[in-house]
Amino acid sequence: MTALRAFLLPHRVVMIAVALGLVVWAAVAMRWDWIPKYADLALLGIWRTIWILVVSVILGFLLAVPLGLAQAVGPWYLSAPARGFCTIIRGTPLLLQIWLLYYGLGSLFPQFPWIRESELWPYLRQAWPYAILALTLSYAGYEGEVLRGAFAGVPKGQIETAQAFGMPRFTTFRRIWFPQAIQSVLPTLAGETILQLKATPLVASITIVEIYAVASRVRQDTFIVYEPLLLLAVIYMIIAGAITLLFRWLESRVPVKSR
């Protein structure tokens, strides 16, 4: 009861009342009769959005770890290409990267008969491999720079102590270096993952029907503008909230770094 009273402060009560009023007004005054017709397509679009997000974030993070390590402690012949890659990715628009891969690389493959005759050709003809590749490289470019700072921020004395006790380098990385680096950047990773979610509508420009493309189709077919966009905003907010809760849970699971 005390916790409820602490939560229901006057400004929060006003905000909740305003939000409920807006929901009631939207439900009564706006048109939602188009939802049953497009419900199946919308569910498919949500699934594709989440699938693209999860795959690109996982692959991007796996690529970002060696990029961050190469920049933090790698020799010049590894750190220079890693730094150049991150600079190019961060310095060019994601939409441009998607188009270069889809219209550039995608139009280059048909010129090689051995590619057209391979088992990969049915996949390379589709748009989603290029979307996944572009989003993966984009996420890796940004997170590689974030992890560079995280790896460099771990006290070197702890690593040297572990090596002095004969701990293998991989064990040192797994038990000391990596957990402390991740603990310090989890809030940043959460923010970058939400930004990755908000970048997924760009793949609609290369014919992938995700949730933004579904909203655009509803708008084109019915000439209803605001309702699909409002519902789209709610869907993105729900997914972003789930991402926030997931990373807060991860923050509670990762050991707190010692000083």
Of 157, 228, 240, 241, the C-alpha closest to 196 is 240
At 1, the amino acid letter reads M
Q: What is the DSSP letter of 252?
A: H
% of the chain beyond a pLDDT of 70: 93
Q: Which domains does the chain have, with CATH numbers?
A: 38-253 (1.10.3720.10)
- Whole-model pTM above 0.95? no
% of the chain beyond a pLDDT of 90: 50
Query: What tokens appear for 231 in the block?
Result: 């519902």
pLDDT in tens, 73-120: 888 889 999 999 999 999 999 999 999 999 988 788 888 888 888 888
Measured CA to CA, the distance from residue 22 to residue 67 in angstroms comes to: 46
Q: Are 131 and 98 in contact (CB under 8 A)?
A: yes
Q: Which of 7-16, 172-181, 231-240 has the lowest mean pLDDT?
A: 7-16
Q: What confidence score (pLDDT) does residue 1 get?
A: 57
Q: Return all residues near 177 (Cβ < 8 A) that are at least 6 apart.
A: 151, 154, 159
The distance between the two most distant Cα atoms of the chain, rounded to a whole number of Å, is: 72
Measured CA to CA, the distance from residue 169 to residue 166 in angstroms comes to: 9
pLDDT in tens, 190-222: 999 999 999 999 999 998 999 999 999 999 999
